[in-house]
């Protein structure tokens, strides 16, 4: 059930990205969803893209830093 919902959410996200490829907030929101799903690498990719589009997006910056700290703990 959860996996099915996630699959639907990511399918919708793909459509929104096609419609609004330069929307930094959308990239951040998708990153948040990946983070919730435990897919940290994909989350990091979307946070980085959000920051490329809008370097002032503080929440994306903060979450990317947190992901970096988590990665260091694991290695």
Dihedral sign of CA atoms 14, 19, 22, 27 in order: negative
Count of all residues that appear for the chain in the document: 75
CATH fold of 2-74 reads 1.25.40
The two tokens of residue 40 are 């940290």
Domain ranges in the chain?
A: 2-74
- Per-residue pLDDT in tens (0 to 9) along the chain, 75 residues: 788 998 899 999 999 999 999 999 999 999 999 999 999 999 999 999 999 999 999 999 999 999 998 877 776
pLDDT for position 1: 77
For the question of whether the overall pTM of this predicted structure is more than 0.85, the answer is yes
Full DSSP string of 3-62: HHHHHHHHHHHHHHHHH-TT-HHHHHHHHHHHHHTT-HHHHHHHHHHHHHH-TT-HHHHH
């Amino acid at each position: 059930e959860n996996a099915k919902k996630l699959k639907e959410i990511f399918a919708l996200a793909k459509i929104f990205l096609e419609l609004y490829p330069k929307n930094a907030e959308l990239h951040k929101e998708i990153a948040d969803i990946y983070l919730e799903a435990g897919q940290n690498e994909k989350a990091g990719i979307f946070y980085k893209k959000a920051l490329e589009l809008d370097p002032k997006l503080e929440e994306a910056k903060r979450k990317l830093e947190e992901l970096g700290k988590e990665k260091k703990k694991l290695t």
